[in-house]
Amino acid sequence: MSDIGMDLASGIAAFEAKEFAKALKLLSPLAEQGDPQSQYRMAIMYQNGLGLVKNELLAFKWMRAAADQGLALAQHGLGFMYLNGECAAKDPALAARWFRLAAQQGLAGSQQTLGMMYEHGLGVGRDEAEARKWYQLARGGN
């Protein structure tokens, strides 16, 4: 395993163990180098003030960077930022776009949320059939 791979594994382990100061030290340089897993965890730390001062601008920056690289968890996180107006301006249509990208990668939480958005016409046109489709996929159906 390369030094970068080792730092990433150690940084993720520190994050999962809630050792945020250690996670920050290991993941910050990797996030700067463009690693989406590190960027996602940096976003979570900034969004929630874990091991550092809460900073919505940096939370959004890192979540968007990871989402732009196709990381489904980050796309889901960005969707919630837009849906709830947290770290970003509230924009249900943009939220639906990001949830759809994560849902298409099989992320059940995004599929469920997208189903709810279609059921209630939130950011998308109300569409019962589309809602059922996403709910079914979230439950593991085809």
Confidence at residue 2, expressed as pLDDT on a 0 to 100 scale: 62
Confidence at residue 3, expressed as pLDDT on a 0 to 100 scale: 67
C-beta separation of 45 from 51 below 8 A: yes
Confidence at residue 70, expressed as pLDDT on a 0 to 100 scale: 98
Task: Name the pTM for this structure.
Answer: 0.93
Residues 6+ apart with CB under 8 A from 75: 67, 98, 99, 101, 102, 105, 107, 110
Q: pLDDT per position in the chain (142 positions), as tens?
A: 566 688 899 999 999 999 999 999 999 999 999 999 999 999 999 999 999 999 999 999 999 999 999 999 999 999 999 999 999 999 999 999 999 999 999 999 999 999 999 999 999 999 999 999 999 999 997 6
Question: What six digits make up the tokens of 115?
Answer: 């189903």
Confidence at residue 122, expressed as pLDDT on a 0 to 100 scale: 96
Confidence at residue 5, expressed as pLDDT on a 0 to 100 scale: 80
Confidence at residue 131, expressed as pLDDT on a 0 to 100 scale: 97
| Alpha carbon distance 42, 30 (integer Å) | 10
- Rg (C-alpha) for the chain, rounded Å, is 16
